[in-house]
């Protein structure tokens, strides 16, 4: 009996699990060494598996959209079919408040101390049975890309841009004609002049779009997407407090360590686009500042309309003090 008890604990008093819980992980896109949210995801999984060697938990990455289509992935996580997921805010119909992440003036670590992270966790637990562990794409702002030169805000009126529901209010204010299409069709649409522009974070060379656009409106807006690494709440609650603390410590470390990596990738991508002949242009003052304000204000209006009680509180929590 004493021998069994002795073998149940390590020298430091930590329970030793002969068979770790193997939890399955998926991503909304194919794993890549250059896509920043995937870089964060891989860093997180590698660090968990390294730290948990011989412990309670192991993460087994099983694939991306070829395993479960992106639109069905959050449901799969919620039901426990998989236990970890990297995804943007595809579930805003259920948790519209997650879009507030886009508008943060503070970094992910500051979001934890401001109280914003706790709200995001509660909303996802209550409505979906999942837990956001860390933000995976802070510091990748959005830009407008065009094949035609735009100098003033009024020049956007009547232009056709690839869009989706995320940009509807913003583009309505600019008078942009919105065309919904899969991202995979965008290159051909630009070649054929079916659209003349689109909104995305700066990292477009990964999908070759620098070959078909000429200008970037150099007034970045939003602070990145609402990209989180989530886990299934039941799976998370089944872990020991010690393991949860270790995983959360890793999550915070990844958020911190990704910030200089994002800055490096951002600078490199701007250089790639410039080398490819893409021009970064400024709007005539004060239209550049007004563009950013419209992007921010319209998104907050959308969020507060859907979440009138919590929306204003979140806005205060995400302001730079």
Could you read off the pLDDT of 144-182 as tens digits, one per residue? 999 999 999 999 999 999 999 899 999 999 999 999 998
Return the H-helix or E-strand segment holding 111: helix 108-114
CA distances to 201, 236, 296, 316 from 240, rounded to whole Å, are: 38, 9, 40, 34
Q: Worst-scoring range by mean pLDDT, 15-29, 251-265, 307-321?
A: 15-29
Angle between helices 241-275 and 36-51 (to 10 degrees): 150
Exposure on the CB side of residue 4, measured as CA atoms within 13 A = 1
Exposure on the CB side of residue 215, measured as CA atoms within 13 A = 15
Which residue segments constitute the domains of the chain, with CATH numbers given? 2-138+225-265 (3.40.190.170), 142-223+271-317 (3.40.190.170)
Confidence at residue 1, expressed as pLDDT on a 0 to 100 scale: 38
Confidence at residue 18, expressed as pLDDT on a 0 to 100 scale: 55
Mean per-residue pLDDT over the chain, rounded = 93
């Amino acid at each position: 009996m004493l021998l069994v008890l002795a073998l149940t604990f390590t020298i430091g008093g930590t329970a030793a699990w002969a068979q770790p819980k193997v939890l399955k992980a998926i991503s909304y896109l194919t794993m890549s060494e250059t896509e920043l949210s995937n870089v964060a995801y891989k860093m997180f999984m590698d660090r968990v598996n390294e730290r948990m060697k011989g412990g309670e938990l192991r993460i087994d990455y099983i694939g991306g959209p070829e395993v479960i289509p992106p639109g069905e992935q959050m449901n799969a996580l919620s039901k426990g079919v998989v236990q970890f997921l990297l995804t943007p805010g595809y579930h805003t119909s259920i948790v519209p408040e997650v879009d507030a992440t886009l508008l943060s003036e503070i970094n992910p670590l500051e979001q934890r101390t401001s109280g914003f992270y706790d709200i995001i966790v509660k909303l996802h637990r209550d409505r979906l049975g999942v837990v956001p562990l860390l933000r995976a794409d802070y510091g990748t702002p959005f830009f407008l890309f065009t094949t035609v030169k735009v100098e003033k805000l009024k020049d956007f009126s009547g232009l056709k841009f690839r869009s989706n529901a995320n940009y509807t209010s913003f583009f309505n204010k600019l008078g942009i004609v919105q065309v919904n299409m899969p991202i995979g069709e965008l290159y051909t649409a630009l070649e054929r002049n079916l659209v003349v522009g689109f909104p995305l974070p700066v990292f477009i060379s990964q999908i070759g779009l620098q070959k078909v656009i000429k200008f970037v409106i150099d007034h970045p807006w939003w602070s990145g997407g609402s990209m989180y690494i989530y886990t299934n709440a039941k799976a998370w609650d089944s872990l020991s407090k010690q393991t949860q603390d270790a995983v959360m410590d890793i999550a915070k470390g990844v958020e911190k360590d990704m910030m200089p990596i994002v800055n490096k990738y951002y600078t490199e991508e701007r250089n790639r686009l410039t080398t490819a002949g893409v021009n970064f242009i400024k709007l005539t003052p004060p239209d550049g500042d007004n563009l950013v304000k419209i992007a921010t204000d319209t998104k907050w209006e959308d969020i507060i309309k859907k979440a009138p009680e919590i929306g204003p509180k979140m806005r205060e929590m995400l302001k730079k003090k």
